[in-house]
Amino acid sequence: MTNAPPELAEAYGPGTTPEEAGLAAREWLRAALPEAWREAGERGGPAAVRQLRTPDEYRAWYPKFSSSGLVAPTWAVEHGGLGWSTAAARSAERELAPYHLPRLNPLGLNLAAPALFAYGSEDQRRRFLPPIVQASEVWCQLFSEPGAGSDLASLSTRAERDGDDWVITGQKIWTTWADQADFAILLARTDPDAPKHQGITYFLIDMHQDAVEARPLRHMGGETEFFQVFIDGARVPDSQRVGEIGNGWRVAQATLGGERQMVAGTGSGGVDRVGGGSALNLVRLARRRDEKGLSGGWQDPVVRSSIVRLWCEERTRQWTNQRVRELLAQKVSPGPESSIGKVHGSDLNQRIQGAAAGLLGMNGLAWAGLPDVDADYAETMPREVMGMLRSRANTIEGGTSEVNKNVLAERVLGLPKEPDLFKGMPWRDLPRG
């Protein structure tokens, strides 16, 4: 049992200093965190907490976290936050870090919220942001299509006006956690006679309607976190349109910037997701090899040097991402800075996850209890192997590395854009296939 957590929004509102924020977080942790979790975090940090706590236990406890305002402390109180400065939020986050308190509903927090802050109405923000913080309404993203991946602006999902509603028909793909989602951010074409970037509108669609069907796509790690979504006459009130009609591409840039920021982080996101973790986890794996008397562990200078190099890169990535987080905290849509973190972070995470799997030795190639290939073999796969397999998507999701390098080349280095033979042509006249 724990004591009731303090009402942070009343005692530590806007204007809270970083020192006060750190104190507030410590007070809240003492009152709200289960004693066993707190002791594990103090003893061994996030790794010890993960070993002790199950994802289901964390989800059951999460309402305490979401009601504190510490999930998104820079957001206004009426939006589910505390109205704190970025510096105050960082101070609180340092206090929370040892206890491994990941945010649920990451697609709502990182993809839907930036668009709502940048282009949504205040009514939309008050309606949708608090449930995002509480994770009482889970979100997914309906952007990519079978014929519109890297060239997202060529999408063909249609939205047609019908009184106060829009009727949407089309197909989306690679939608993460579509089976769990209550709402989705969606791009649809509202004017096929406009150039492809100008005829798109941004919507918030209720996933709980018969006209929306999600079908799973199993990836090579054995999980089914990706889905293809079929939409056949789904209805969306005009009140759930974000931004002006035909301005969806601009609104989407806020979401895409947040997505690149999210993917740029080491690991695959979510709650207790699989993965080899950070470079510090490589130290633990390497030392385990030493303890077992195996070669290629922490005492090997080549292994040690490679891990330290990865750790240095990880710190650089964290500093780069911090600049983007500060923009998001100020309700500013991130620009090409998010592409820098995404390109570097995707490649770095693949190398970290690959190193983690490599440190398992033969256990990274075969493991006990492997069931038939048709079964859910993810249950028996080592976390490090699962993380390595999952990380292969990092250079594709959130915009491919090639697309993001083009963004950096054009918007940071000032290089000329590639020639576009169809620039300004109406979407309906563009060649297909």
> Does residue 135 sit in the same domain as residue 152?
yes
Domain total in the chain: 3
- Decide if 431 is inside a domain: no
> Does residue 394 sit in the same domain as residue 307?
yes
Q: Which two tokens stand for residue 65?
A: 């976290």
Region at 145 (left for phi over 0; alpha for psi -120 to 50; beta for the rest): beta
Q: Which of 52, 70, 101 is the last residue of a domain?
A: 101
Residue 91: which pLDDT band, with cuts at 50, 70 and 90? very high
> Does residue 391 sit in the same domain as residue 293?
yes
List, in sequence order, every residue forming a beta bridge with 189; answer none if it has no partner. Answer: 158, 200
Q: Which of 251, 285, 310 is the last residue of a domain?
A: 251
Residue 339: which pLDDT band, with cuts at 50, 70 and 90? confident
Centre a 10 Å sphere on the Cβ of residue 399 and count the other Cβ atoms it contains. Answer: 26
- Decide if 111 is inside a domain: no
- The answer to whether 37 and 49 are in contact (CB under 8 A) is yes
> Does residue 282 sit in the same domain as residue 330?
yes
Ramachandran angles phi, psi of 431, nearest 5°? -65, 145
Spatial separation of the C-alpha atoms in residues 232 and 214, rounded to whole Å: 12
What is the dihedral sign for C-alpha 144, 145, 151, 154?
Answer: negative
User: What pLDDT does 224 receive?
Assistant: 78
Question: What's the whole-number average pLDDT of the chain?
Answer: 86
14 Cβ contact list (under 8 Å, min separation 6): 77, 82, 83, 84
Reply yes or no on whether the pLDDT at 268 is more than 50. Answer: no
CATH number at residue 263: 1.20.140.10
Amino acid residing at 148? A
Residue 369: which pLDDT band, with cuts at 50, 70 and 90? low
Reply yes or no on whether the pLDDT at 120 is more than 70. Answer: yes
- Decide if 332 is inside a domain: yes
Of 182, 172, 226, the closest CA to residue 204 belongs to 182
- Decide if 422 is inside a domain: no
20 catalytic residue (yes or no)? no
- The answer to whether 335 and 329 are in contact (CB under 8 A) is no
> Does residue 19 sit in the same domain as residue 83?
yes
Distance spanning both ends of the chain, measured CA to CA:
61
Spatial separation of the C-alpha atoms in residues 195 and 429, rounded to whole Å: 9
> Does residue 176 sit in the same domain as residue 91?
no
> Does residue 266 sit in the same domain as residue 397?
yes
> Does residue 404 sit in the same domain as residue 267?
yes
User: What pLDDT does 11 receive?
Assistant: 85
Q: Which two tokens stand for residue 100?
A: 């491994």
> Does residue 220 sit in the same domain as residue 263?
no
The catalytically annotated residue of 225, 259, 326, 384 is 259
- The answer to whether 49 and 40 are in contact (CB under 8 A) is yes
User: What pLDDT does 368 receive?
Assistant: 61
Looking at per-residue confidence, does 374 or 218 come out higher?
Answer: 218
The mean pLDDT value for 228-246 works out to 98
pLDDT tens digits along 13-37: 889 999 999 999 999 999 999 999 9
Give whole-number Cα distances, 61 to 51, 180, 321, 361, in Å. 17, 19, 28, 37
Range with the poorest average pLDDT among 87-96, 154-163, 418-427: 418-427
The DSSP call for residue 108 is I
For residue 169, the surrounding DSSP H or E stretch is strand 165-176
Reply yes or no on whether the pLDDT at 378 is more than 60. Answer: no
pLDDT tens digits along 165-209: 999 999 999 999 999 999 999 999 999 999 999 999 999 999 999
> Does residue 175 sit in the same domain as residue 59?
no
CATH number at residue 200: 2.40.110.10
- Decide if 132 is inside a domain: yes
Provide, rounded to the nearest whole percent, the portion of the chain with pLDDT above 90: 60
Residue 308: which pLDDT band, with cuts at 50, 70 and 90? very high
> Does residue 230 sit in the same domain as residue 301?
no
- Decide if 367 is inside a domain: yes
CA dihedral 410, 411, 413, 419 (to 10 degrees): 10
- The answer to whether 356 and 281 are in contact (CB under 8 A) is yes
List, in sequence order, every residue forming a beta bridge with 405; answer none if it has no partner. Answer: none
Spatial separation of the C-alpha atoms in residues 230 and 227, rounded to whole Å: 10
367 Cβ contact list (under 8 Å, min separation 6): 380, 381, 382, 385
Give whole-number Cα distances, 158 to 161, 203, 210, 213, 236, in Å. 10, 12, 18, 16, 12
User: What pLDDT does 1 receive?
Assistant: 30
Domain extent, residue 372, equals: 254-411
Q: Which residue has the tokens 């999902």?
A: 157
Ramachandran angles phi, psi of 186, nearest 5°? -140, 135
Give the relative orientation of helices 18-32 and 86-96 as an angle to the nearest 10 degrees.
30
Q: Which of 204, 232, 251 is the last residue of a domain?
A: 251
Q: Which two tokens stand for residue 321?
A: 């991402």
User: What pLDDT does 329 receive?
Assistant: 62
pLDDT tens digits along 241-263: 999 999 999 999 888 776 655 55
> Does residue 395 sit in the same domain as residue 286?
yes
- Decide if 420 is inside a domain: no
Spatial separation of the C-alpha atoms in residues 210 and 385, rounded to whole Å: 38
Reply yes or no on whether the pLDDT at 99 is more than 50. Answer: yes
List, in sequence order, every residue forming a beta bridge with 161; answer none if it has no partner. Answer: 166
- The answer to whether 134 and 206 are in contact (CB under 8 A) is no
Range with the poorest average pLDDT among 39-48, 66-75, 373-382: 373-382
User: What pLDDT does 272 receive?
Assistant: 39
User: What pLDDT does 296 receive?
Assistant: 93
- Decide if 199 is inside a domain: yes
CA dihedral 80, 33, 4, 106 (to 10 degrees): 20
